Amino acid sequence: MADFKINTYDKSRELFNRATKVIPAGVYGHLGPAEGNFIPVSAWPFFSQKAKGAYFWDVDGNKFIDYMCAYGPNIMGYNDPDVDKAAMEQAKIGNCTTSPSYKMVELAELMVDTVNTADWAFFAKNGNDVTTLAIMAARNATHKKKIIFVNGFYHGVSAVVQKIDYPGVLPEDVANNLYVDWNDFDALEKLVAENEGEIAAFISTPYLHGNYFDNQLPADGYWQKVRNLCTEKGIVLIVDDVRAGFRLDLAGSDHYYGFEADMICFCKAIANGWNVSCLCGKEFLKDAVAGMSYTGSYWMSAIPFAAGIANITKMRELNLPTLLLEKGKKLTDGLKDAAKNNGFDLVVSGEPSLFYLRIANDNTMMLHQEWIAECVKRGIFFAGHHNHFMNYAMSDADLKHTWEVADEAFKVVAKNHPELF
Amino acid sequence: MMKYQNTKEEYTLTDAKTLAYINMYAVLGSLENLCQLDPKASALVADRKPISIGFEVKGGPSATITFKNGKCRMEQGCGECDVKLPFSSCEKFNGLIDGTVTPIPSKGFQHIKFLLKTFTPLTDMLSNYMRPSEEDLKDEEFFNISTSLLFYTVTVAISQIGNNDEIGKFSADHIPDGDIQMSIAGGPAATIRCRNHRLVTIKQRPDDPRSVMEFGSMKLANDLFNGKVSAMAQIGEGTITMLGMINMIDNINRILDRVGLYLA
């Protein structure tokens, strides 16, 4: 065994104790220990000190190769010099101003030029802003009220995209939401027939990359049939590309799978961590969006626009999605080898640039959770039950180090479970 | 679709039928545990012939509580019982639990003394443990019994809400098959078994759980049940342990949120 250093997190813990006094849940949401599934919680850091390239360092000085990439935004590598240079130069001349910066027009033009289905671009801050806008715009355009969601979905935090059993959500908030299983076109067709003339939109991620289950790619012909059905029935087809956007295809994940969405939502990877999201759509929906009351104090800030222009330009020059898909495949092949060599069945699902991991030796996920924790304790930041993210800065040396740590982690889990081997 | 108005029941989207199931199996059902945990309760029913009381609720649950050799056991249905207490509606039965309805037996009038002299004091003891004063909780033994009874009540209520409450059923629909362990370190444990999205609570630790949610101490469990601490923060503190199929626990927690609405 290589005998890697085992992290300790005294300062993280101290900060978390302070945080719980003044912040609900200490660290809320997906970055926190509850929703982030820190199992056991002692294996994870809570707070970072700095980040660079493929790595971040926590407040205790532990270094991590970060396969969560801040849950997606870090597509080029933390503090990418080209992106950050554009952001810093913009910061010197103006950011949040009464008249929006001309940079907004430049980024919109670049999005329209880059994204296959885009005739226009509308900017906001978070993925939720634009998924919610897409749903409202579809209702505004069609004058219909029902929205079809795919079971296992996550499209943000507005009440309309949450579920009836979530705290603070009323039945009325989700009364017009319909649900269908992923890849089940027959069920979708039936649902549409049962609600003929009432459906405003079908919203889905390009493939099913939800949490707690193996991610599922679209079946052959699925999206083409969905596209035809939506066109035939006047249903707006919305693709939520917040998570997968630019990691499969710079022209959009609908383009990657050979169809055209009516609206497509981007956020995470637009500006490599500078905060901007974007809804792109077809011409026939532009007036519907124009007529809506939908804005925010920081939505037209110029720094993220400048960063986005630099980032998209660089991603285009690099043909980045292809690199990330190849790099993800290489990484996960090595992880599968390490698993196999130690008697574990590691299932890798989803697209390689957003790979999802699951150890299938038991039906409880407990072995999986143990292995993930052993990796994190040794400086490989994986998530237990969420897809991961590749970025440009990850090197072959990082991949090799990851395989070595993974191997040691498998050996530790195997040693802890002699009954299995 | 349920309507959202300003009455308490509709504001919280609770319903009388689910509450009746909770009152039957979670609240009255915890008499089983009371007789195990408190020798005074056991003594009340020890030296007497076995006797069974049936509760039959029109449009709701029915169950029989049998007292035998100082022990208490609840079973579903009330086909054979010594005393039968019928209720014309779930609301009437819920009135029995909150003390606003006095039941009239349809069978077993000769056992009225047991109802008044034994059963009522037992349920009064249960109420004291379930709604304790701060002073009572300073006594360690009382505290432990109270917390254990709350634990069993909550874990059974989870299954009743998952099977009957409209929003709870939505959560249960997202729970895969298997056993979920709920437990308090150094204290009681229960199994919530899910089969085809129907839940049943078994008041013992599972042999082979697919997921585990364990509270770190009796004190923490009591504070959580009484809303004194945040479960989310405690997960971060590491005092609530979660393991295994987190989507099972995630949905159980959504139902757990509703337990408080019914039992408040």
Contacts of B237 in chain A (CB under 8 A): 16, 20, 41
Q: Which domain holds residue B155?
A: 136-263
| Residue A34 touches chain B, beta carbons under 8 Å | yes
Any idea which of A77-91, A118-132, B216-230 has the lowest mean pLDDT?
A: B216-230
Contacts of B255 in chain A (CB under 8 A): 165
- Percent above pLDDT 90 for chain A: 98
Q: Are A286 and A183 within one domain?
A: yes
Q: Are A251 and A182 within one domain?
A: yes
Q: Are B187 and B97 within one domain?
A: no
Confidence (pLDDT) at B4: 42
Each residue's pLDDT tens digit, A140-195: 999 999 999 999 999 999 999 999 999 999 999 999 999 999 999 999 999 999 99
Confidence (pLDDT) at B3: 44
CATH number, domain containing residue B148: 3.30.1050.10
| Residue B233 touches chain A, beta carbons under 8 Å | yes
pTM of the model: 0.94
Q: Are A107 and A242 within one domain?
A: yes
Q: Among all residues of chain B, which has the CA nearest to that of A213?
A: B247
Domain boundary among A299, A318, A337: A318
Residue from B246, B249, B257, B258 to probe the interface with A (highest A Cβ count within 10 Å): B246
Contact, A277 vs A319, CB < 8 A?
Answer: no
Domain boundary among A300, A318, A336: A318
Q: Are B151 and B73 within one domain?
A: no
Each residue's pLDDT tens digit, A272-307: 999 999 999 999 999 999 999 999 999 999 999 999
CATH number, domain containing residue A199: 3.40.640.10
Q: A225 in a domain, yes or no? A: yes
A219, pLDDT greater than 90: yes
Q: Among all residues of chain A, which has the CA nearest to that of B169?
A: A165
Confidence (pLDDT) at B102: 87
Q: Are A86 and A231 within one domain?
A: yes
Contacting A residues, span 113-172, partner chain B, CB-CB under 8 Å: 163-167, 170-172
| Residue A1 touches chain B, beta carbons under 8 Å | no
Confidence (pLDDT) at A259: 98
Q: A2 in a domain, yes or no? A: no
* b/e sequence B192-223, b meaning 16+ C-beta within 10 Å: bbbeebebebebeebeebbbbbbbbebbbbbb
User: At A373, is the pLDDT very low, low, confident or very high (cuts 50, 70, 90)?
Assistant: very high
Q: Are A71 and A109 within one domain?
A: no
- Percent above pLDDT 70 for chain A: 100
Residues in chain B, pLDDT under 50: 1-5
**What distance in Å separates residue B6's CA from the closest CA in chain A?**
13
Q: Are A142 and A127 within one domain?
A: yes
Confidence (pLDDT) at A1: 58
CATH number, domain containing residue A355: 3.90.1150.10
| Residue B209 touches chain A, beta carbons under 8 Å | yes
Contacts of A364 in chain B (CB under 8 A): 178, 209-211, 243-245
| Residue A347 touches chain B, beta carbons under 8 Å | no
CB contact under 8 A, A16 and B236: yes
Confidence (pLDDT) at B11: 60
Confidence (pLDDT) at A74: 97
Q: Structurally, how many domains does chain B consist of?
A: 2
Each residue's pLDDT tens digit, B201-226: 999 999 999 999 999 999 999 999 88
Confidence (pLDDT) at B5: 44
CB contact under 8 A, A165 and B1: no
Q: B216 in a domain, yes or no? A: yes
Q: Which domain holds residue A44?
A: 10-78+320-420
Q: Are B224 and B249 within one domain?
A: yes
Domain boundary among B130, B152, B169: B130
Q: B5 in a domain, yes or no? A: no
Contact, A281 vs A287, CB < 8 A?
Answer: no
ipTM of model: 0.91
Confidence (pLDDT) at A421: 80
Instruction: Give CA–CA dist A113/B175, Å, rounded.
Output: 44
Q: Are B124 and B161 within one domain?
A: no
Each residue's pLDDT tens digit, A39-68: 999 999 999 999 999 999 999 999 999 999
Each residue's pLDDT tens digit, A322-358: 999 999 999 999 999 999 999 999 999 999 999 999 9
The average pLDDT across A81-107 equals 97
> What number of C-beta contacts closer than 8 Å exist between A and B?
85
CB contact under 8 A, A364 and B170: no
